[in-house]
Amino acid sequence: MRSWLLLFSCNLMWALQFTCIKLVQDQVGPLFTVWGPMTLAMFALYPFVKADLRAGAARLTHHDALQYLILAAVGVFPGQVFMTWGTRMSLASNAALINLTLPVATALFAFVFLRERMTPVRWISFAIAIAGVLLCSGIDFGNLNFGTGYLGGNLLILAATLGSAFYNSYGKKMLERHTPMQMLFYTYVAVSVLMAPVVFLEEGHIFLAIPHFTAQTWTGLILLTVFHNYLSMVLFLKALKNLDATQAALSNYLITFFGLPIAALWLHEKLSGAAIVGGILVLASTLLITLREEREPKVAVETAQ
């Protein structure tokens, strides 16, 4: 149950992301929004990684470094950057619909890389959660457009979703050797190095504007650094050590459940009745898989005795 409480906490923090992006978008570009907070979180993680190494944690090998470069290039980079670019090129309603493939994609990758199995309870939870997210999202199906005009953006959004699913599943292999702090730090180092040339080339002017950032911009950047890129990811990786990647991915539907009231309170956006019902369904789906699968190991032990 402790791992599920960690997942609830990190999804609450991830739900802050959308509001924070709104706070910084007037002064900070999409690339810097990803790279800046991630790089700051990387430096904040370094003392803890040193402590883990002094305590006897496994050190980084050449093979490990290659694995983290793969996670950064195939997982984190498209998961964060492509989602930002794709949504700007497409429609928000398209992005919301395509993003529903995340848990299913994670389940597929978990089957391929981790040999995890799909159970009837998981499929039922997926169905309930998808129904809830559709209600929460308020998707205007009349305006959905998957024509050639939005093809590029839609493909980027799909690539971002697959990237996140890849990281959630394949990344679990690294937790067999390294602590959550180490995995997060090494991943951020790889992403920061890969993104730095593009950030300086495309959005280098933002560095000159840093002294003129408003309190609103600083608030958004600090929240993205501390909660979205630092604490939430540490909690998620701790939970991932004790849960299947498929189980952890299902909890991501809670982002919508938490994100709507946060936006309503902070940005004064309206919360519809359908969104409230959808949020209840999302919460129900997560509780279903939590309570059901928490009992299964205990039953197995009793049978063995």
Between residues 10 and 177, the one the model is more confident about: 177
In tens, the pLDDT along 24-35 reads 878 998 889 889
- State the Rg of the chain over Cα: 19
pLDDT band for 46, please (50, 70, 90 cuts): very high
Q: Is the pLDDT of residue 36 over 50?
A: yes
Q: Is the pLDDT of residue 93 over 60?
A: no
pTM score? 0.67
Q: Is 28:217 a contact under the CB 8 Å cutoff?
A: yes
Q: Is the pLDDT of residue 146 over 70?
A: no
pLDDT band for 303, please (50, 70, 90 cuts): very low
In tens, the pLDDT along 98-130 reads 666 676 677 778 777 777 666 777 677 667 766
Give the rounded percent of residues in the chain with a pLDDT score beyond 90. 25
Please report the pLDDT score of residue 210 as a whole number: 93
Tokens of 20: 């924070």
pLDDT band for 63, please (50, 70, 90 cuts): very high
Q: Is the pLDDT of residue 305 over 50?
A: no
Please report the pLDDT score of residue 188 as a whole number: 93
Output the DSSP codes for the chain: -HHHHHHHHHHHHHHHHHHHHHHHTTTS-HHHHHHHHHHHHHHHHHHHHHHHHHTTPPPP-HHHHHHHHHIIIIIIHIIIIIHHHHHHHS-HHHHHHHGGGHHHHHHHHIIIII-----HHHHHHHHHHHHHHHHHHT--GGG---SGGGHHHHHHHHHHHHHHHHHHHHGGGGGGTS-HHHHHHHHHHHHHHHHHHHHHHHHTHHHHHGGG--HHHHHHHHHIIIIIIIIHHHHHHHHHTTS-HHHHHHGGGHHHHHHHHHHHHHS-----HHHHHHHHHHHHHHHHHHHHHHHHHHHHHHHH-
Q: Is the pLDDT of residue 236 over 80?
A: no
Q: 270 CB contacts (<8 Å, ≥6 apart)?
A: 264
Q: Is the pLDDT of residue 11 over 90?
A: no
pLDDT, average across residues 140-169: 71
